[in-house]
Amino acid sequence: MTTDLRTLLIILAAALATYATRIGGYVMITRMKTIPPRLERALNAVPGAVLATLVAPAFFDGGWDVKAALIVALLVGLRHAGFGLIIAGWGTAVLIRHFA
């Protein structure tokens, strides 16, 4: 009634593809008998390396409101861990968009 079969099948295929990405790396790595130290260092770098790619283009291509928000968030984040950085960065963007 509120969905058609084609859409539903596409969604389920996309869900399967997503699950494959979430388990694929594990399946590949457990096939290896030992993990060379170089590979271990590479895996250790995964969080920083991936997350940086989610931030950098937003900063580079964003307007100066986005740039200012990220810079303020960075400065707050270097001093305090936790939620303050999100509020500070987001608040900066809201203020600029309403008053500048």
Partner 1 sequence: MNRTDIWQGARTGAVVAFSTLPFGLLFGAVAVDGGVTPLEATIMSATIFGGASQLVGVQLFGHHVPAWLVVLSVFAVNFRHILYSAAMAPHVQDYTLGQRLLAFFFLTDPQFAESVKRSEETGRVSPIWYLSMAFVIYVVWVAGSALGAVFGKLITDPKAIAMDVLLPVYFLGLVLGFRRRANFLPVVAVSAAASILAMHTVGSPWHVSIGAIAGIIVAALLPEPKGTKAES
Binding site for partner 1 (CB under 8 A): 2-3, 6-15, 17-30, 37-39, 41-62, 65-66, 69-70, 73-74, 77-78, 81-83, 85-86, 89-90, 93-94, 97-98
Nearer to partner 1, 33 or 37 (CB): 37
The distance of closest approach from Cβ of residue 58 to partner 1 in the complex, given in angstroms and rounded to an integer, is: 4
Q: Are 65 and 90 in contact (CB under 8 A)?
A: no
Judged by CB, which is closer to partner 1: 21, or 33?
Answer: 21
Q: Shortest distance, CB of residue 15 to partner 1, whole angstroms?
A: 4
Least distance to partner 1, CB of residue 69, Å? 5
Q: Any idea which residue has 């509120």 for tokens? A: 2
